[in-house]
Amino acid sequence: NAGVTQTPKFQVLKTGQSMTLQCAQDMNHEYMSWYRQDPGMGLRLIHYSVGAGITDQGEVPNGYNVSRSTTEDFPLRLLSAAPSQTSVYFCASSYSGTGADEQYFGPGTRLTVT
Amino acid sequence: KNQVEQSPQSLIILEGKNCTLQCNYTVSPFSNLRWYKQDTGRGPVSLTIMTFSENTKSNGRYTATLDADTKQSSLHITASQLSDSASYICVVSLNNNDMRFGAGTRLTVKP
């Protein structure tokens, strides 16, 4: 049982490049989410999904796209990277996303945009 | 202004000592409050979860308290170990499933 996995662990992009951050979970959780973590700030929700085929925006969605074609996978796409997107990105999953369930986080992807 | 404020921002203690981390929140109504531990380079891991009706929850050497009237929570670590060096994050879940994260307290335990 691998839990929540993320790839890559580190990535450097040039401004304007696009890329996809991968996230997968093997716990059959319906709820998955993406956060970014910046120094001196709490984790901020980018996008979330309550099940396959359903996604919604969080607090800071601009510049990011998501899709959820399977229960297991929830990739995050950066369409045209900007230096402001330099951050550490965490994917998380939980059974229902109600807040009462345990939320499991992946190890994170550290992204630098130059 | 962040709706979940943690203090101190950072703390250095000697191994074996106790410490208390604070979390003040302004969001309401909330359904539960969690404390997470985040090791450097890793994702957060849940330590405790309390509903608004609970006022204390323990997990080994970690004890969380909650005062819903004053909107304050604390995390007390007893007999600290080097492995306790990490960031500790307070998270408040609202009734609409929205979660608000504090910026965390960076704890360093020195031998």
pLDDT digits (tens, 9 = 90+) for A9-58: 999 999 999 999 999 999 999 999 999 999 988 899 999 999 999 999 99
Give the contacts of B66 (CB within 8 A, at least 6 positions apart): B33, B50, B52, B54, B55, B56, B57, B72, B73
Is pLDDT of B35 > 70?
yes
Cβ-defined contact of B41 to A42 (cutoff 8 Å): no
pLDDT, averaged across chain A:
94
Cβ-defined contact of B43 to A43 (cutoff 8 Å): no
What confidence score (pLDDT) does residue A94 get? Answer: 93
What confidence score (pLDDT) does residue B1 get? Answer: 58
Task: Give the rounded percent of residues in chain A with a pLDDT score beyond 70.
Answer: 99
A111 touches chain B (CB under 8 A): no
Cβ-defined contact of B42 to A40 (cutoff 8 Å): no
Cα–Cα distance, B85 to B13 (Å, whole number) = 10
Query: For residues B19 and B77, is the Cβ–Cβ distance under 8 A?
Result: yes
Query: For residues B42 and A107, is the Cβ–Cβ distance under 8 A?
Result: yes
Residue of B nearest to A39 (CA): B103
Tally C-beta pairs within 8 A across A and B.
47
Based on the number of CB atoms within 10 Å of its own CB, is B29 exposed (0-12), middle (13-18) or buried (19 or more)?
A: exposed
B4 touches chain A (CB under 8 A): yes
Residue of A nearest to B88 (CA): A42
First to last CA, chain B: 36
Paired strand residues for B37: B45, B88
Cβ contacts (< 8 Å) between B104 and chain A: which residues?
42
Q: How far is A9 from chain B (nearest CA, A)?
A: 10
Give the contacts of A108 (CB within 8 A, at least 6 positions apart): A6, A9, A37, A88, A89, A90, B41, B42, B43
Cβ-defined contact of A108 to B42 (cutoff 8 Å): yes
Among the partner residues B49, B97, B101, nearest to A42 by beta-carbon distance: B101
What confidence score (pLDDT) does residue A66 get? Answer: 98
The first and second tokens of residue A66, run together, are 């998501």
A96 confidence band (pLDDT: 50, 70, 90) = confident
